[in-house]
């Protein structure tokens, strides 16, 4: 028997398709099926003796009366393929993936969990095979092997999806490997026939499986369902620095007490070795001039950036005599942002956060990292994790991940990890508390230590620890009277001291204000020129800056370059893979768009009954809007149209991405007359709406770095003769009771017309496949599953600062963060204010029900954790995904808000499907979910008292129920 794994064209990685070259005896239909003795095995490893895990994929080998093999193309899986079915002894029909004359691949039914033994038979043409006994386990991990029977070389890839074999060895201490496996527990859709297995789904909040490489335990950085597969898991692990080297080093996974087969990978001794040691070796060989050159940038003069190579926004020339490569810095929070480098315009990163899925966020970040690398750019100024929910009018909201530090931290960490896996230095910014653009160069943020640690700083801390990010950008503002780029509390204290950050701190562009103060406070590199750091030489001579500090600055930059692999993976320029990358852009939008209203089941639209559709406003005939500023992506294929440079900010162009919602809607409803009105004249728009079966109005809000929005309404900041979009929607809604509003914007909005329209879809800036994604959601080809990562306030009057603080003509000005750590929903809950739409909210075309919620506590002193277990059912008639959210109410007297998000899981369910879900919340996680920051002892402390655990599908109490309570301490 010889099996070969095929490459899946959609994901570009090893998929599950199995091709067998067995003798192809021509079988007559009357032949009885036969399952060979010992012929039922886990189809990852084919390892003898590995029990089958419910939910995993297995193969039955034998002879089956099939002349043309058949393959299932979608879930739920069929139970009959090519006339063959399988049955387990309990009679449960078995979901099938592939049926051929010698092999049938199937998913092990969920209702066999923990049964120990079962029998399996095959039926075809009314005849049933002899029964074969198989062993069943709750978990039985099995790693996919290649051309081997359960051992030998594995289907283990590196982060660029190349096989890790002798021709592409992993590097001890740095390579992250992607292990494809089955049997880690239930995360796929339970087939409708079986009750769900007891399972321990694995997400970042739950216990990760253990991986050993050459017997050495490896750091597991991701475990979850492999994208695009049924029943297949992906576990990412970093090859340990101490792993043995060679071409056949065994990799083993264990979970729930069961250990997998071993597969082998090639491991090479690290040329990287220890990045700190390698950096020290180089520093010792550098002259002082060379050291000085690396801590300052070549982008002068101070008022404007001279054209830098490769269109980079920052450039530090390398040192050829020592083999130090050039550093090319490029923005990229929502795709590579570089006008000389057309790139895939992804949906806003707030849409990536709205997907609530770290694995999808990794795919998003991978596009950014890959496209930078394609252009030879090697430092990504992405990773904007400012908690802009403090000020939802902030023009940069679209670049961020919303208002919750844990959600924002986890999503940003996934982006950064993916970028650094492409051997591009990642960055997290803007450190810190940089939450409004108005007066950003002189805003003096006032906040207490605990408030900062439990909000904005916590988001940074999570990224640092989860993603090992190698650079941090300090911000423009001051914190408690000190510029952040020379703030010893932030840089030397919190970042390099408490968090042990080993990479380098660069300034935001022209955010440096001094030489000696900045260097001594912890700034390692000035950007984008050398206005201040050209003075370091004098300060060294006068002794104001010790030479050891210069060596430390250089060391940090070089160690970041070693750690990200810039020395070991030299640049490889390549064209952007437009098709594949745009598919990810569309997927991110389809998973991140949030359905806010759907009265009377207005959506999904039924193409077969609609005769006429009005599409109105926002250039929806040709384009979708994108956000401006330094994050602006110049889309591949060029913009559909541009509309000048609104002022403020006066320097950023309005770019409409090339994707036509109108064309996409027409192709979803080929039989309907789809007409467009540009929305500039409400009367004309409403008369088209009145003559149509449905009206779809696109409203848009352009926003950019360098500006805040004048209000939370859809304010037209682009045109000198503003279009009042609130009036437009009201007029259309008055003309047609089937008015659907699609929002293209970067953050939270108010909607005065909300009660008069039947449906609202928050599409964010949807990226250059946005039109297609929106149309697919409107017509139900995609079921929306996004959840708001930011609260939509009912009114600006409910914001902590109803009016944005404005700068004086000169000097700094205070911005008091009165809300402290009560950012976003925590503020509304604490103040008992009802938002328009709460954090965590989003509708689906499916109907979900939570039941059987239970709390399992493990409250060991010092490291408490708990699991929330429950059944999640889809009682609707369409497949859909729900985000189960866990919030924690801290003991009275801690001063904490009523509820804090501490865990979540996105679960995909077919109609009628039920999944038993476990969400684990562990104090050892980098998000400190069970503790508060105690400034006196400078530590995270777990407070004694009563805790309440809430479970539901938004932050609002009406969407939550109490899963249980527990008590900690005396």
Cβ proximity to ligand BGC: between 630 and 879 the closer is 630
* The pairing of beta strand 504-507 with beta strand 471-474: parallel
Cβ proximity to ligand BGC: between 173 and 382 the closer is 382
C-beta of 389: minimal distance to ligand BGC in Å? 18
**Cα separation of the two ends of the chain:** 63
SS3 of 349, please?
helix
The neighbour count for residue 551, using CB atoms within 10 Å, is 17
Cβ proximity to ligand BGC: between 394 and 508 the closer is 508
Distance between CA atoms of 200 and 101, rounded to whole angstroms? 35
* The pairing of beta strand 673-677 with beta strand 612-616: parallel
C-beta of 428: minimal distance to ligand BGC in Å? 11
Distances (CA, A) of 385 to 33, 349, 492, 793: 58, 10, 20, 21
Residue with tokens 């099926």: 33
Cβ proximity to ligand BGC: between 509 and 779 the closer is 509
Distance between CA atoms of 232 and 155, rounded to whole angstroms? 12
Structure tokens at 118: 């079962």
Cβ proximity to ligand BGC: between 328 and 933 the closer is 328
- Please say whether the beta carbons of 468 and 476 come within 8 A: no
Q: Give CA angle at 153 (150, 158), nearest 5°.
A: 125
Cβ proximity to ligand BGC: between 509 and 828 the closer is 509
Distance between CA atoms of 410 and 404, rounded to whole angstroms? 10
C-beta of 332: minimal distance to ligand BGC in Å? 9
C-beta of 5: minimal distance to ligand BGC in Å? 41
Cβ proximity to ligand BGC: between 508 and 621 the closer is 508
Cβ proximity to ligand BGC: between 189 and 652 the closer is 652
* CA proximity to 200, closest of 96, 75, 54: 54
Contacts 24+ apart (CB under 8 A), 795-803: 795/712, 795/750, 796/393, 796/711, 796/712, 796/750, 798/828, 798/831, 798/833, 798/835, 799/391, 799/392, 800/390, 800/827, 801/391
Cβ proximity to ligand BGC: between 84 and 485 the closer is 485
Cβ proximity to ligand BGC: between 381 and 413 the closer is 381
Distance between CA atoms of 250 and 432, rounded to whole angstroms? 43
Cβ proximity to ligand BGC: between 181 and 353 the closer is 353
| Interacting residue ranges for ligand BGC, rule: CB under 6 A | 313, 331, 381, 429, 508-509, 630, 705
Distances (CA, A) of 907 to 40, 181, 224, 884, 958: 29, 19, 11, 7, 21
Cβ proximity to ligand BGC: between 239 and 312 the closer is 312
C-beta of 476: minimal distance to ligand BGC in Å? 7
Give burial (CB, 10 Å; 0-12/13-18/19+) of 405: buried
C-beta of 345: minimal distance to ligand BGC in Å? 17
C-beta of 800: minimal distance to ligand BGC in Å? 23
SS3 of 105, please?
strand
- Please say whether the beta carbons of 741 and 560 come within 8 A: no
Give burial (CB, 10 Å; 0-12/13-18/19+) of 203: buried
Cβ proximity to ligand BGC: between 705 and 896 the closer is 705
* CA proximity to 196, closest of 791, 873, 677, 915: 915
- Please say whether the beta carbons of 43 and 69 come within 8 A: no
C-beta of 381: minimal distance to ligand BGC in Å? 4
Q: Which helix (H) or strand (E) holds 107?
A: strand 103-107
Distance between CA atoms of 741 and 699, rounded to whole angstroms? 7
Distance between CA atoms of 760 and 778, rounded to whole angstroms? 10
Cβ proximity to ligand BGC: between 386 and 867 the closer is 386
C-beta of 328: minimal distance to ligand BGC in Å? 12
Distances (CA, A) of 171 to 216, 223, 280, 394, 864: 14, 21, 20, 43, 36
C-beta of 297: minimal distance to ligand BGC in Å? 11
* CA proximity to 761, closest of 585, 605, 603: 603
Cβ proximity to ligand BGC: between 94 and 485 the closer is 485
- Please say whether the beta carbons of 205 and 407 come within 8 A: no
Distance between CA atoms of 397 and 824, rounded to whole angstroms? 13
The neighbour count for residue 539, using CB atoms within 10 Å, is 18
Cβ proximity to ligand BGC: between 161 and 339 the closer is 339
* The pairing of beta strand 216-225 with beta strand 233-238: antiparallel
C-beta of 382: minimal distance to ligand BGC in Å? 8
- Please say whether the beta carbons of 292 and 536 come within 8 A: yes
* CA proximity to 901, closest of 479, 522, 455: 455
Cβ proximity to ligand BGC: between 201 and 313 the closer is 313
Cβ proximity to ligand BGC: between 150 and 426 the closer is 426
């Amino acid at each position: 028997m010889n099996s070969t794994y095929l490459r899946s064209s959609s994901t570009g990685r090893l998929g599950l398709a199995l091709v067998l070259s067995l003798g192809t005896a021509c079988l007559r239909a009357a032949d009885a099926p036969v399952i060979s003795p010992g012929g039922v095995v886990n189809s990852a490893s084919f390892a003898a003796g590995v029990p089958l895990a419910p939910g995993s994929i297995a193969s039955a080998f034998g002879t089956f009366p099939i002349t043309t093999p058949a393959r299932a193309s979608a879930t739920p899986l069929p139970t009959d393929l090519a006339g063959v079915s399988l049955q387990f002894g309990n009679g449960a029909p078995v979901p099938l993936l592939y049926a051929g004359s010698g092999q049938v691949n199937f998913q092990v039914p969920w209702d066999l969990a923990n049964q120990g033994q079962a029998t399996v038979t095959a039926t075809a043409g009314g005849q049933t095979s002899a029964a074969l006994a198989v062993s069943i386990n709750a978990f039985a991990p099995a790693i996919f092997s290649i051309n081997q029977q359960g051992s030998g070389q594995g289907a283990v890839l590196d982060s660029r999806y190349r096989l890790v074999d002798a021709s592409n060895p992993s590097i001890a201490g740095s390579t992250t490997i992607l292990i494809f496996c089955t049997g880690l527990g239930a995360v796929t859709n339970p087939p409708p026939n079986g009750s769900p297995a007891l399972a321990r789904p694995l997400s970042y909040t739950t216990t990760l499986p253990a991986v050993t490489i050459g017997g050495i335990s490896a750091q597991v950085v991701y475990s979850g369902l492999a994208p695009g597969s049924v029943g297949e898991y992906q576990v990412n692990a970093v090859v340990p620095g101490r792993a043995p080297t060679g071409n056949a080093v065994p990799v083993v996974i264990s979970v729930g007490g069961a250990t997998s087969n071993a597969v082998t990978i090639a491991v090479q001794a690290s040329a990287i070795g220890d990045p700190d040691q390698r950096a020290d070796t180089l520093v010792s060989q550098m002259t002082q001039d060379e050291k000085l050159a690396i801590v300052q940038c070549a982008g002068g003069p101070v008022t404007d950036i001279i054209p830098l190579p490769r269109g980079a926004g920052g450039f530090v020339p390398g040192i050829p005599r020592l083999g130090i490569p050039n550093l090319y810095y490029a923005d990229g929070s929502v795709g590579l942002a570089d006008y000389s480098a057309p790139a895939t315009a992804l949906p806003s990163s707030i849409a990536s956060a709205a997907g609530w899925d770290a694995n999808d966020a990794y795919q998003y970040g991978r596009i950014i990292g890959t496209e930078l690398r394609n252009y030879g750019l090697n430092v990504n100024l992405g990773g904007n994790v400012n908690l802009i929910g403090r000020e939802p009018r902030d023009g940069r909201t679209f670049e961020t991940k919303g208002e919750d530090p844990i959600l924002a931290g986890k999503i940003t960490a996934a982006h950064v990890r993916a970028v650094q896996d492409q051997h591009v230095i990642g960055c997290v910014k803007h450190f810190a508390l940089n939450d409004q653009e108005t007066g950003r160069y002189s805003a003096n943020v006032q906040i207490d230590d605990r408030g900062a640690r439990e909000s904005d700083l916590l988001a940074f801390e999570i990224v640092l620890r989860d993603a090992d990010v190698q650079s941090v950008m300090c911000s423009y503002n001051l914190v408690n009277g000190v510029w952040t780029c020379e703030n010893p509390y932030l840089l030397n204290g919190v970042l390099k001291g408490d968090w042990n950050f080993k990479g380098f701190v660069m300034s935001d562009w022209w955010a440096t204000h001094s030489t000696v103060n900045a260097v001594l406070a912890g700034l390692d590199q000035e950007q984008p020129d050398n206005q201040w750091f050209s003075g370091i030489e004098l300060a060294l001579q006068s002794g104001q800056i010790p030479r050891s500090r210069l060596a430390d600055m250089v060391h940090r930059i070089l160690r970041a370059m070693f750690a990200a692999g810039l020395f070991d993976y030299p640049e490889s320029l390549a064209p952007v893979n437009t098709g594949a990358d745009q598919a990810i852009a569309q997927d991110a939008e389809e998973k991140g768009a949030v359905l806010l209203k759907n009265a009377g089941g207005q959506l999904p639209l039924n193409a077969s009954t609609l005769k006429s559709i009005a599409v109105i406003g926002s250039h929806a005939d040709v384009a979708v809007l994108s956000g401006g500023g330094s994050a602006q992506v110049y889309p591949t294929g060029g913009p559909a149209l541009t509309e000048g440079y609104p002022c403020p900010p006066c320097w950023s162009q309005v770019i409409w991405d090339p994707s036509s919602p109108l064309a996409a809607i027409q192709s979803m409803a080929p039989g309907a007359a789809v007409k467009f009105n540009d929305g500039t004249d409400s009367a004309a728009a409403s008369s088209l709406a009145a003559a149509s079966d449905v009206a779809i109005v696109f409203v848009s809000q352009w926003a950019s770095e360098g500006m805040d929005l004048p209000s939370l309404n859809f304010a037209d900041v682009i045109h000198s003769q503003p279009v009042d979009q609130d009036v437009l929607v009201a007029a259309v809604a008055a003309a047609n009771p089937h008015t659907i509003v699609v929002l293209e914007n970067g953050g939270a909005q108010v909607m005065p017309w909300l009660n008069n329209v039947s449906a609202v879809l928050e599409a964010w800036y949807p990226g250059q496949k946005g039109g297609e994604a929106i149309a697919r959601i409107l017509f139900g080809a995609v079921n929306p599953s996004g959840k708001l990562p930011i609260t939509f306030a009912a009114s600006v009057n409910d914001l902590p600062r109803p009016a944005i603080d404005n700068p004086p003509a000169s000097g700094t000005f205070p911005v008091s963060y009165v809300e402290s750590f009560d950012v976003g929903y925590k503020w509304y809950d604490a103040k008992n204010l009802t938002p328009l739409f709460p954090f965590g909210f989003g509708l689906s075309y499916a109907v979900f029900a939570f039941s059987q919620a239970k709390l399992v506590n493990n409250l060991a002193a010092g490291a408490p954790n708990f699991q929330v277990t429950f059944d999640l059912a889809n009682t609707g008639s369409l497949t859909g995904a729900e985000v189960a959210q866990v919030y924690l109410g801290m003991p009275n007297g801690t001063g904490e808000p009523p509820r804090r998000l501490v865990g979540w899981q996105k679960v995909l369910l077919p109609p009628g499907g039920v999944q038993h879900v476990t969400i684990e919340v562990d104090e050892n996680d980098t998000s400190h979910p069970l503790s508060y920051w105690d400034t006196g002892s400078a530590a995270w402390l777990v407070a004694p008292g009563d805790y309440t655990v809430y479970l539901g599908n938004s932050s609002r109490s009406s969407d939550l129920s109490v899963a249980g309570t527990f008590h900690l301490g005396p």
